[in-house]
Chain A
């Protein structure tokens, strides 16, 4: 009966889609220049982190079937003129530091002229081009120390020069500069590598040319290349400055193709298209233009947006709204069930075999008089799986303390060792056996993955622990550990959230906590009502996920039906929904 209803729903959807059917006309493409799109509007994307601009334009008045796609261009970002000037002066100052014949007065004047700008660069907004500001701060410090020493200390002179040179190299390039550099690394640059005499003269000046002729062998190839690189950089700078000036006048914008967009049926239906240009620099203003290209690959004139637009960073990132709702609902549910459990409402949690076997494993080790091996993965304390592993260790060591069994915890990270020691010590205290706690049983081995495995393998073969717990993040070592444990006949319980390692643990261990079971372990083993409440809260998350999966499957299936039935407008609407789910909710 239910199956019949589902089929009925799909039939109704299919019939509804028929309403949106459109006729397909294949117009003959011509070589004539198509009419341009019009009314291009560029607006800063509201509620974003300052890197997107929304574009909207009306489609070309030509027959839509003759237009193959629309080209979206944006202007290349340049640097403000004052920044370019600062970089020029910095370059001059670096050269002065490198030139040993410069009189101190001239150097002092140049330093004092640039120092306020240097200080401003060091104090400007932190976080953007962080490396640049860091080097600016270092340069200011080095130059001030040099000045304070009366400009007579040679070591301080060298350090200041080095710091300024480092700063010069750390200055981020603008897009225009980067593009120039890319051009220079092309075949054209390779061709220039042949250092002919005129090029050398141009590069090194007369003095250098004389030196070249007299002691050519003394100039190593890398010095020549370095000098050549400086010339290229200077050229790029000069060009960038010229273009920045031209861009400021608005008469020579350099354009970059952003995307070629094929109009969809929905766009043709509404007569306009939208596109969001992403990954922009919020410190730059941009111009945009759009052109139409017909099926004969002839491009129309472009329509340019009336004003330059600068992305603005907002306090709230609207792109993450869906994520925020999901976080609130899931976290709210978890907190609600924790509160409910605290109020005394009974909660039922299904039996997890792997966790029920913890008692058995610890008991077996006690009976056999052998130790228990606990491995909390190979990641550090900033990994949630390590934290989950440590919480399980707390329960295991408490049991071990009660049974008077020995727990050995080799770790691959020093911080994990410290945390594990605290945890085990507290567990022994809680069990009323603080005297039985052995600090040296929890120790650091190595950070190196296979070094750690080699140690564990050797230790397992030598000491033959009766029970092995693997709880945390594991990679390729999972199977080596589990198989070694299997070969010595230990009872093995593993838990990890690494999907690729789960099959290995399942194959070689007695019990495996798969994904969420591993995270539930601590709450499950504690038996505390409020901790179990958090597990109930997870179920709400599963319900939401289930609903979204079903909704997504229905929409995607309907989209497939619409495409098969050639219902282009209906398919366009459904595709928009699928894209929204895929790009906004799922990412």
Chain B
């Protein structure tokens, strides 16, 4: 029963939504299903919050390696939650000045806004900025000319890198108009437009077919591993 009911719901929901795409009357059903999912996901936040507290409190209690990070996590979590839900420091809205909680929790200058602006955003930007260094290290490793494929990759990458900078324009700027197709900026465009697009589309077609096949396996109950195994 634990498997049958979810499978039944999945199959009915999936096939009805597939059929709904082909009728003018039912094309909005997909949006309704998405709203149902949002409701479920919103409720699951409580589950997630509870789990977060449990895991980190346990880490602190056991004094496992890095438990101090858990202290920071719990303090940050609770402080943001209380300030956000309690609308602490938020002024009442002009429309309802008598109601203390009528203001927006994202009010500019409010504590929640301050946390977002001066703690969350810089931290996120820091993580994102690390990407630049990782790109460099990954490119350094990937572009080692150890075989023919790697040499081709290296050559193409070199052209693209040059073609996207002023150096590329400068290096091949002297070429006459009848050879303009060989200018690095134009070669770059050709590589991206023809070779890259062709390869990308091939992958996309494979992905689309893979999605169709996986969806069918799930809807037909052939693959039940996402429900925790194949047997009843």
In the complex, whether B106 has a CB less than 8 A from a CB of chain A is no
Q: How far is the CB of A300 from chain B (nearest CB, A)?
A: 36
In the complex, whether A315 has a CB less than 8 A from a CB of chain B is yes
| From B25, B27, B65, B214, residue with most partner A Cβ within 10 Å | B214
In the complex, whether A228 has a CB less than 8 A from a CB of chain B is no
Do the beta carbons of B48 and A417 come within 8 Å of each other?
Answer: yes
Query: Looking across the interface, which residue of chain B has its beta carbon closest to that of A320?
Result: B22
Question: With the chains together, A449 CA to B125 CA distance in Å?
Answer: 11
In the complex where A48-B24, A414-B41 touch, is A423 in contact with B51 (Cβ < 8 A)? no
In the complex where A314-B24, A331-B216, A504-B138 touch, is A497 in contact with B210 (Cβ < 8 A)? yes
Which residues of A, 307-331, contact B by the 8 Å Cβ criterion? 313-317, 320, 323-324, 327, 330-331
Do the beta carbons of B209 and A330 come within 8 Å of each other?
Answer: yes
The interface stretch among B81-89, B171-179, B180-188, B218-226 is B218-226
Question: With the chains together, A335 CA to B18 CA distance in Å?
Answer: 16
In the complex, whether B97 has a CB less than 8 A from a CB of chain A is no
Mostly, the B contact residues are helix
CB neighbours of A530 from chain B (8 A): 222
Question: With the chains together, A440 CA to B56 CA distance in Å?
Answer: 11
In the complex where A334-B216, A414-B45, A519-B214 touch, is A453 in contact with B209 (Cβ < 8 A)? no
In the complex, whether A211 has a CB less than 8 A from a CB of chain B is no
Do the beta carbons of B44 and A414 come within 8 Å of each other?
Answer: yes
In the complex, whether B130 has a CB less than 8 A from a CB of chain A is yes
CB neighbours of B75 from chain A (8 A): none
In the complex where A324-B22, A534-B213, A541-B212 touch, is A480 in contact with B131 (Cβ < 8 A)? yes
In the complex, whether B69 has a CB less than 8 A from a CB of chain A is yes
In the complex, whether B61 has a CB less than 8 A from a CB of chain A is no
CB neighbours of B100 from chain A (8 A): none
In the complex where A315-B24, A331-B216, A480-B134 touch, is A426 in contact with B200 (Cβ < 8 A)? no
Question: With the chains together, A537 CA to B211 CA distance in Å?
Answer: 12
Q: List 16 A-B contacts (CB under 8 A).
A: A49-B23, A314-B24, A444-B55, A445-B52, A450-B123, A454-B123, A462-B66, A463-B65, A480-B127, A480-B130, A483-B137, A483-B138, A530-B222, A537-B216, A538-B213, A545-B209
Taking A317-B27, A444-B47 as known contacts, 10 extra A-B pairs with beta carbons closer than 8 A to each other, sorted by chain A number, are: A313-B25, A413-B48, A414-B45, A415-B44, A424-B228, A445-B52, A450-B124, A516-B209, A528-B230, A537-B216
Which residues in A have some Cβ–Cβ distance to B below 8 Å? 48-50, 127, 313-317, 320, 323-324, 327, 330-331, 334-335, 338, 380, 382, 384, 387-388, 390-391, 394-395, 413-415, 417-419, 422-427, 429-430, 440, 443-451, 453-454, 458, 462-463, 476, 479-480, 482-483, 486, 497, 499, 502, 504, 506-508, 514-520, 522-523, 526, 528, 530-531, 534-535, 537-538, 541-542, 545
Which residues in B have some Cβ–Cβ distance to A below 8 Å? 18, 21-25, 27-28, 34, 37, 40-41, 44-45, 47-48, 51-52, 54-55, 58, 65-66, 69, 123-124, 127-128, 130-131, 134-135, 137-139, 141-142, 200, 203-207, 209-218, 220, 222-223, 225-231
